[in-house]
Amino acid sequence: MPRVHARYRAVVSALGAVLLLATGCTVAGSPARMAPDRAAVDIGPYGVTPLVAPPNDNEKYGRVLESVRMGEAVIDPVEIDPALTFGVGIAASVPIPTPAKAGFLAQPVRAVLERRGMLAGFSVGGMDTGIPAEVAVGRARLLTVLLLRFPDDAAARSAATEIDAVDAAVSPENVPVPIPEHPEAHGHWRPTAPTLAATTAVGPFVISVLAGERSTDLEALRRMAGTAFTAQRARLADFRPTPPDRFATLPLDTDGMLARLLPEAPGVWPWPAVITRRNDPNAGWLTSVTASGIVLGPRASHRWGSWQRPAEGIGMVLALNGQHTLLRLADAVAARREYDDAVDELTEPGQRQTASPAGVPDARCMESLSGLQFGPRFACRMLYGRYEAVVFARTLADAHHKISAQYLLLARSEQ
């Protein structure tokens, strides 16, 4: 299947002044984007009227939205090691609104989260090579940081202790491992395994890390965990959690991003949701998660997806509606750079370029050659100003309709 969105690369070029010359003179005024020719664009059954976000009065939605907010308070693995630029698994930056969604933890641990009243969470993962998560243990350096919130400090401390104890009990080979810089932390490790799990509490939060090396180097694993704890504790000092009784008042849209993103069906608002497609009984990096109806901020969006990321972010915002995405970059120049940098997707193994839709100036489409019977086979990417959108469809005609409607929706939203 084609990638959801491109590898985000840092924009480092300086922007020069642009002069419009006519008969040797500079023309005063501001440049304006040419209005799309509606008659030349076929949108099929899709609408192009921006939706208005409904009010949020649901605590369930609020837990997802608070988890998304926590995404800006979680450290990125590249802050611990600049080499950890590749995402781990299908989605390496995901909100964890309920214990059932914490698939990175062992199944018995999720019962601890439920018992201690977990309120929200976010998980971020990175590794130093672009290989599938199912074969990464022992073949890559890895780090997952899971930030969980509980009702109070006491619940968090109890949860941290029990998470480690229950997870360690999964295998009789596990032995306790102290983290010298963080004597309050709990850790465990199997001498024959190149991974280490460690957990600590900070106020009402629990930080859980899963570190991996290419060898059973305990000191390297312990050092990675301790460095992650130190960085995460510092980052939390700037985060202001939403009171639980205010979860249902959190806004459903941020900066109008979801209103600009093509809905799954005309007039249907994308409600916040996190869907876990696979949960392994043991801790690891194999969980598959899909999020919809959310807007990730600059830190969380920098890590979304499973391909390589630069060690520094570029100030973007990402809206997700199922498989459709809308990325907003700092300006049109940064968006153009992102769009052009992703052109190699057209020649990647397993996919090929297909026809682009008529009437959409900056768009390209791809077809998956994997022979999937179900799910989307086609994807189209489109650039408009500082926005980049990607849509998926089972037929090329539907992909053309979707990306064309997305184009007109953005044009109308920016008027």
Could you tell me the domains of the chain? 59-236 (3.40.1000)
DSSP alpha helices (H): ranges in 249-350?
A: 257-260, 298-303, 332-341
- Interacting residues of 235 by C-beta distance below 8 A, sequence separation 6+: 73, 74, 75
Q: What is the DSSP string of 382-398?
A: EEETTEEEEEEESSHHH
What are the Cα distances from residue 353, in Å, to 221, 345, 367?
A: 43, 9, 6
CA-to-CA separations, 372 to 8, 301, 350, 390, 394, in angstroms, rounded: 27, 28, 11, 19, 10
26 DSSP β-pair partners:
21
Checking if the pLDDT of 279 tops 80, the result is: no
- Separation of alpha carbons 340 and 337, rounded Å: 5
* Residue 253 · residue 295 · CB < 8 Å: yes
Residue 308: DSSP 8-state:
B
Per the model's pLDDT, the better-predicted residue between 347 and 98 turns out to be: 98
Yes or no: say if 46 and 408 are a contact pair by the CB < 8 Å rule.
no
Helix (H) or strand (E) holding 401: helix 396-413
pLDDT per residue as tens digits for the range 142-163: 999 999 999 999 999 999 999 9
- Supply the pLDDT for residue 117: 97
pTM of this structure = 0.86
Average pLDDT estimate for 15-42:
46
What pLDDT does residue 281 have? 53
pLDDT above 80: residue 27: no
Dist. CA 373–CA 368, nearest whole Å: 11
Nearest alpha-carbon partner for 385 in 413, 345, 356, 343: 413
Q: Would you say residue 400 has pLDDT above 80?
A: yes
Query: What is the pLDDT at residue 341?
Result: 87
- Paired strand residues for 387: 328, 384
State yes or no: pLDDT of 313 exceeds 60: no
Spatial distance between the Cα atoms of 357 and 124, rounded to a whole number of angstroms: 36
pLDDT tens track for 93-147:
889 999 988 877 778 888 999 999 999 999 998 999 988 877 888 999 999 999 9
**Size of the chain in residues:** 415
Backbone angles phi and psi of 104, in degrees to 5 = -75, -15
Residue with tokens 């100030």: 315
> Is the predicted pLDDT of residue 217 greater than 90, yes or no?
yes
Residues 223-272: pLDDT tens digits?
Answer: 999 999 999 999 999 999 999 999 999 999 988 999 999 998 888 999 99
- E-assigned strand segments in 227-316: 273-278, 288-292, 294-296
pLDDT of residue 151: 98
pLDDT at position 97: 96
Asked if 213 and 143 count as a contact pair (C-beta separation under 8 A), the reply is no
Mean pLDDT of the residues in the chain? 85
Least confident of 196-210, 281-295, 314-328: 281-295
CA–CA distance, 415 with 39 (Å, rounded to integer):
18
Q: If you write DSSP's letter for every residue of 49-92 in order, what string do you get?
A: SPP-PPPP--HHHHHHHHHHHHTTTSPPGGGT-TT--EE-SS-S
- The pLDDT value given to residue 266: 83
pLDDT in tens, 182-200: 999 999 999 999 999 999 9
The CA distance from 252 to 270, in Å, is: 9
Tokens of 218: 């305990």
Task: Find the mean pLDDT for residues 7-17.
Answer: 25
335 has a pLDDT exceeding 60: yes
